[in-house]
Amino acid sequence: MWAEVDGVTTLRLGRREFEGDELVIMAIINRTPDSFFDKGATFDDRPALDAVARAIDEGAGIVDIGGVKAGPGAEVDVTEEIRRTVSFVAEVRRRHSDVVISVDTWRHEVAEAVCDAGADLLNDAWGGVDPKLAEVAAKFDAGIVCTHAGRAQPRTRPHRIGYVDVMADILDVTVGLAERAARLGVRRDAILIDPGHDFGKNTRHSLEATRRLGEMVDTGWPVLVSLSNKDFVGETLDKPVNERLLGTLATTAVSAWLGARVYRAHQVAETRQVLDMVSSIHGTRQPAVARRALA
């Protein structure tokens, strides 16, 4: 069951407030030519803007814009990352005043530029490698996602990584980053923690992190999970990237039951159905219609 904790109940990001029983989708919008899932489908402005509009229509409350592929690949310097993201953030802000705009970056220079353009949330997937990122969030009254990445450097893959207790390490890192962000002036109701599936972890680590997700929820910090089509799903089921949706949705349902609040996803409509079904089973959402046995 979902934990009852004395923590953040209402998330306040940009113009939006998400209550404690609201499960929120963060739609992935890759501004890269080499992303592992869509292979650059939203690198150009028009398809990317269409993808934003579609994601919002399908039920996303947050769009997460990234200018650098997470894995190894061609070098993308600060200037190029800014070129790929800042003007796009500004246009999304102009077209969609209420959607929460997140930017997936670990660099404070990029964070400064996108926040100035209208971003509401900084998704720091690399676990605080740039300590100035939280300072930027505080300066612009933006939120921040504090992620466990196993102390890996950006865009590197884990190799023979090990933990005495993977969840203990996740809690130590993410809660530490969250508390530091709060001390720097980031609002507590704009801070999330993320176990960082695949980041600095092998498949068994990511499965254990999912199984023990309730321990993160118990900290009182809102939990974000980024599960969509990841390698731990692929290895668990021995499926290629384009056949990982069912495994992703199963993991999403488990994570929702255990209390995660935000779900970073490629396939928004399918994720929305899963989250709505879990919420209805849990009793925090009414069925969309009620006809059976009423006539």
291's tokens: 């006809």
- Catalytic, 54? Answer no
Q: Which residue has the tokens 């680590």?
A: 205
- The answer to whether residue 94 is catalytic is no
CB of 113 closer than 8 Å to CB of 92:
no
For strands 143-147 and 121-124, give the pairing.
parallel
Q: Which member of 107, 187, 244, 264 is catalytic?
A: 264
Q: Which of 84, 230, 261, 272 is catalytic?
A: 230
Which letter does DSSP use for residue 242 in this model? Answer: G
Closest CA to 147 of 80, 234, 245, 221: 221
Residue listed under structure tokens 């029983």:
21
SS (H, E, C) 32-100: CCCCCCCCCCCCCHHHHHHHHHHHHHCCCCEEEEECCCCCCCCCCCHHHHHHHHHHHHHHHHHHCCCCE
Catalogue the active-site residues.
230, 264
